[in-house]
Amino acid sequence: MTGGKLPDGGILYDGSEDDDDIAIDSVAEAPVLAVDWTEGNRNENGLTGAELIGEFVKQLPNSPGVYRMFNADGDVLYVGKARSLKKRVSNYAQGRGHSNRIVRMVRETANMEFVTTRTEVEALLLEANLIKRLRPRFNVLLRDDKSFPYILITGDSKAPAIYKHRGARAKKGDYFGPFASASAVGRTINSLQRAFLLRTCTDSVFETRTRPCLLYQIKRCSGPCTGEVSEAGYAELVSEAKDFLSGKSQNVKSSIAAAMNEAAEDLDFERAAVYRDRLAALSHVQSHQGINPASIEEADIFAIHHEGGLTCIQVFFFRTGQNWGNRAYFPKADPQMSSAEVLSAFLAQFYDDKPCPRQVLLSETIEEQDLLAAALSERAGYRVTVLVPQRGDKKDVVDHVTANAREAHGRKLAETASQSRLLQGFAETFALPYVPRRIEIYDNSHIMGTNAVGGMVVAGPEGFVKGQYRKFNIKSTDITPGDDFGMMREVMTRRFSRLLKEEGKPDRSQPPTDETADTAFPAWPDVILIDGGQGQMTAVRTILEELGITDSVIAIGVAKGVDRDAGRERFFAAGKADFTLPPRDPVLYFVQRLRDEAHRFAIGSHRARRKKEMVSNPLDEIAGIGPTRKRALLQHFGTAKAVSRAGLTDLTAVDGISETVARLVYNHFHEKAAD
């Protein structure tokens, strides 16, 4: 691509491929790249809004491309694509027939940038990538965009294992999915363990086993680690599992049923019972998959329900003729947008970083449906069809998904209304100047000061925002073990020092407005809740005063009641005496729920850290000591502690341990002891 400047700093790219800054063979690859937008003179003539856009239009080509709109602070307001940049952008300059959302966007525009592409398909792919990366305020935004979990049967071991997998497919093996949730994968793997007896242990555990584990005893594993099953027998189990997950479930069940009948005819009832249990496990998997229409082999089904300012998009996943679950999404979109517009924008972002099936079924027709199909086909490398079924099994399934979308929408709307009322009551109870948009709740967890962890959970108008949760491993060596005040001081210092550095001090001179609510979830909390009494609050206020942010954050302490009874909590806030709330006050229940979530998160983080420390082995810290040498050392000396006490002569006596490796091990422990 090559670039050229427009007046006032716009950038044009003509789509050729000789620019080192954007070295890609095709814009179809853009979702995995960060496009380098060169900044020009940012609106030196002082124009804004429609006047500024009108100046840009004069220099724009009639070719496809992507444009970005900026406010005066340089924040991206909107990312859009066009078949003709000139025609599309000129609509903004005319100022006729725009919704309130577009009027506000045009009014705030202080600069624009452009990229031209070879085709409109490339523009669509690039637009979706930029929206997900930049999250502009006026675009439809896909929220809760976690990667989907898969089932992985490894391919780099003589005895393949079955795992839950999420993220990049870097490990060699066969992947099956996507599944809608981690719990759906967990249930399926549990049933597949009973059906096919595949191992779920790590390779290091598999290589060091000397006798079968508990899973073998309870008939969840065939015991390949100690030769309880032959390599050929285990390979057959693996092949059957792959066939089942690939859609050949009926063939697998027929084969197992035939083997069961054969064993029964031979009066080998114990072996027949094993096959019976495997059949029952497979039936359990399929019974939890819900609808399984024979006409749908591989498809994602989307249905949208748009009402009351809230949009719900329900997605069902079908692979190899099996239903692998569903998930509800609630994208952020302007209430004035039609459901078709929201669904169209959602789909482009949804498949930006996910594999696409060969068929996408929708509950309603969207604009540029053929363009989306072409973009998905180009990205996937095979033909993808996007259609709205009108009759038959596919129509019935889409109707079922639509009903699920409607029900999920109703539940979410009720939860949001309830949360809004609770936040309003919270603001009134604690005499806050406005209803908080972000509440942070803090708690600590430790055992006599060991493995100390501070936890922060976040709540907002739509409930808990788990993507904003943070944990703080207590690092200070000056804190006395068990000193909760010292731990809270460290957590507060680290949290707000970083927030000041990254976001700056917030402007609290004006309360939030309806227009503010359109922006992204705020980084600064309006209120912080501390699980503790007057002592904890003194430590927190000291930190806030040292950082100069006492007027930026309202701190409230929640002390456990008499005899630590729930319902008798005391509240501490600056400038007022401590107080309690009536036992059945909804705000009290709300605060208890916030505190309990912080408590749960802190304890979970502490337990994870403690477990990691308990299972760690000092030998794992030595570079050059892999599973084989580690096993040899442990088999020779018995424990890692015995290895740490061994001399060089003793270490070199171990099979596979050379003098160089022995000195490496010896120096590791003795240098550590010297320190």
- The residue range of the domain holding 204 is 150-287
Residues 257 and 365 grouped into a single domain:
no
Average pLDDT over residues 306-326: 82
One domain for residues 664 and 526? no
Instruction: Please identify, among 606, 630, 651, the residue that sits at the C-terminal boundary of a domain.
Output: 606
Among 376, 411, 446, the domain boundary falls at 411
- 511 and 466 within one domain: yes
Angle subtended at Cα 209 by Cα 207 and Cα 215, rounded to the nearest 5 degrees: 115
C-alpha distances (whole Å) from 379 to each of 28, 150, 357, 383, 528 are 6, 20, 11, 10, 45
Same domain, 279 and 327: no
Looking at residue 314, its pLDDT comes to 92
CA pair distance 430, 413, nearest whole angstrom: 26
Do 447 and 581 sit in the same domain of this protein?
yes
Q: What is the CATH number of the domain that holds 632?
A: 1.10.150.20
345, 79 contact by CB (below 8 A)? no
pLDDT digit string (tens) for 451-466? 788 899 999 888 888 8
pLDDT class of 519 with cuts at 50, 70, 90: low
- pLDDT for residue 626: 79
Residue 440 has pLDDT above 90, yes or no: yes
CATH of the domain at 407: 3.30.420.340
Residues 573 and 452 reside in one and the same domain: yes
Residues 578 and 489 in one domain: yes
Please, which pLDDT band fits residue 569 given cuts at 50, 70 and 90? confident
| Residue 380 three-state SS | helix
Residue 419 covered by a domain: no
Residues 602 and 622 reside in one and the same domain: no
Cα–Cα nearest to 317, from 174, 184, 406, 146 = 184
Amino acid at 346: F
Q: What is the pLDDT of residues 53-110, one digit of tens each?
A: 888 888 888 888 899 988 888 888 999 998 888 888 888 887 676 777 888 888 888 8
Strands 470-473 and 463-464: unpaired
pLDDT at 283: 65
Over its C-alpha atoms, the chain yields an Rg (Å, rounded) of 30
Query: Would you say residue 161 lies in a domain?
Result: yes
Please state the domain count of the chain.
5
Q: Could you report the per-residue pLDDT of 214-227, keeping only the tens digit for each?
A: 888 888 898 999 88
Give yes or no: residues 281 and 346 share one domain.
no
Same-domain status, 469 and 588: yes
Distance CA 122, CA 81 (A): 10
**Closest-CA residue to 374 (of 148, 106, 64):** 64
| CATH, residue 26 | 3.40.1440.10
pLDDT tens sequence across 570-625:
888 877 888 888 877 888 888 988 988 998 998 888 787 777 665 566 677 777 78
Domain C-terminal end among 550, 578, 606? 606
The full DSSP string for 629-652 is HHHHHHHHHSSHHHHHH--HHHHH
- Asked if 467 and 577 sit in the same domain, the reply is yes
In this prediction, residues 43-58 reach a mean pLDDT of 75
Examine residue 426 and state whether it is found in any structural domain, yes or no. Answer: no
In a domain, 530, yes or no: yes
| 514 vs 197: which has the higher pLDDT | 197
Q: Which whole-number Å values give the CA distances from 295 to 46, 248, 318, 377, in the listed order?
A: 60, 15, 11, 21
In a domain, 487, yes or no: yes
